[in-house]
A and B are shown apart, each in its own frame.
Chain A
């Protein structure tokens, strides 16, 4: 069985500051990794994904994430956040070959302050 842990339920940060949202996973097999974002009163949309290849993955809105197999982590980063980045961020994992059967973390609420 696989699981995803997002250690921080809330991350407050000032506008234009850098941010890192942490994600750790556990799985007995190789995995695919995802970050989704949920803006207020909306559904989830894909921010970025790691399937294979380069461990540094770039996504939309200036976000990037790095896959670290030895630490079983997939932390999300942005060098300079905007007010509009205020949202809930979800890390998700699926076993290789399990297709779209995603397991989600508990989410991290990013609160960007002026």
Chain B
């Protein structure tokens, strides 16, 4: 039990499907993150939310749409994905975001996405 729960753990979808990944943190943190982990590539930061406001969007294609309804939940909505989007999507949370509050990121176990 890591305190950050991701569902589903595995997802297979076609290029025309619409699906969502869910992340929930039980740690009382106020910042949440989506990372993409592909084989042979460094972790890529996709989106950052602080106090439910998006503060980072690293040129992610619009076929990925994040949603943060409250400080405990984060979603990643997926539509018309491409096979190259197949990867492990990791959610993380932290107690603070910037200005000297550097500390630990708490990661979920990830959602393994396969796009056919």
Residue numbers of A with Cβ under 8 A of B are 4, 32, 36, 41-46, 49, 51, 90, 94, 97-102, 104-107
Contact = CB atoms under 8 A, between A and B. Distances in A.
Interface in B61-101: 90, 92, 94, 96-101
B109 A42 contact: yes
A100 B42 contact: no
Contacts of A105: 42
Interface of B: 2, 4, 6, 31, 33, 40-43, 45, 48, 56, 90, 92, 94, 96-105, 107-110
| Interface residues of A, dominant DSSP | loop
A102 B110 CA distance: 18
Q: Indicate the member of A36, A41, A42, A99 with the most B CB atoms within 10 Å.
A: A99
Contacts of B103: 49, 100
A44 B94 contact: no
For A4, A43, A98, A101, the residue with the greatest tally of chain B CB atoms inside 10 Å of its CB is A43
B41 A106 contact: yes
Nearest to B4: A43
A97 B42 contact: no
A98 B96 CA distance: 11
Contacts of A49: 103-104
19 contacts: A32-B102, A43-B6, A43-B109, A43-B110, A45-B2, A45-B107, A46-B105, A97-B98, A98-B102, A99-B94, A99-B99, A99-B100, A100-B33, A100-B101, A101-B45, A101-B56, A102-B45, A105-B42, A106-B41
